[in-house]
Amino acid sequence: DAGVIQSPRHEVTEMGQEVTLRCKLISGHNSLFWYRQTMMRGLELLIYFNNNVPIDDSGMPEDRFSAKMPNASFSTLKIQPSEPRDSAVYFCASSLSRSTDTQYFGPGTRLTVL
């Protein structure tokens, strides 16, 4: 199993541009989590899905952020327009949909907004 796959691994963009981060879940997993990690705020849960349905998006910073699961194995996190304060490492993780199950993290996307 290839594990959780994220792309791109690094993204540098200018303020105001649209950014799309991608995540492929582990086969058979049906929960998907998006996190953001910064020095100042640590690891924050942005949103999570179960069976393609958003369950909790209370961590999404503002309307500039949106996340989708067009199918059971793939998710996108979009930032439009991007701002320098969005610079962070974004992780996605997947798991089986039980609270005792391990979340498997992808390698992350390091986003820099200039």
Contact between 94 and another protein by CB under 8 A: the answer reads: no
Nearest by Cα to 90 from 47, 30, 28, 26: 47
Q: Which is nearer to another protein, 62 or 98 (CB)?
A: 98
Contact between 45 and another protein by CB under 8 A: the answer reads: yes
CB of 16 to another protein, least distance (A): 28
- The gap between the terminal CA atoms of the chain, to the nearest Å, is 36
> 81: cis peptide before it, omega within 30°?
yes
CA distance 3 to 65: 25
What is the number of other CB atoms lying within 10 angstroms of the CB of residue 11?
A: 19
Q: Which is nearer to another protein, 81 or 87 (CB)?
A: 87
Q: And the tokens for 3?
A: 């594990």
Contact between 1 and another protein by CB under 8 A: the answer reads: no
Question: Contacting another protein (CB under 8 A), which of 11, 31, 82, 88?
Answer: 31
Residues that bind another protein (CB under 8 A): 4, 31, 33, 42-43, 45, 48, 50, 55-56, 91, 93, 95, 97-108
